[in-house]
Amino acid sequence: MSIRNRGGEWEPLLLGIEPETCGVCHEGLYRNLTMLRGGWSRCSLCERFVHYSCLASGKVSYLKRRPRVCKTCAVQQPPSPAGMSKPSVPAAVK
């Protein structure tokens, strides 16, 4: 779609597509750059799109934490000890 300019030239009416930016490194989430590097995902806490490499690591360094949390949210969130989920008092046996 285009419109004729006053001088008889044609100018396109298409708007430039603004890429989403990573919430951690603030670089663009371009498809051609991130496709071979793991892509991108949405942080489950702040709901921002981030590069896959900008997600917090899990127990194994090359696997990412679940639910997906970006590195900035992982630093702000206090670490939850794994032993706290278990009850401190053993259950009575009948």
The domain spans of the chain are 20-76
Domain 20-76 has CATH 3.30.40: yes
CB neighbours of residue 50 within 10 Å: 26
pLDDT value for 43: 92
**Residue 30 one-letter amino acid:** Y
Query: Has this prediction a pTM greater than 0.75?
Result: no
Which residue shows structure tokens 């001088």? 7
Give the distance from CA 19 to its chain's centroid.
Answer: 14
Indicate whether 28 pLDDT > 60: yes
pLDDT per position as a tens digit, 55-86: 999 888 888 888 999 999 999 877 665 545 55
Would you say residue 93 has pLDDT above 80?
no
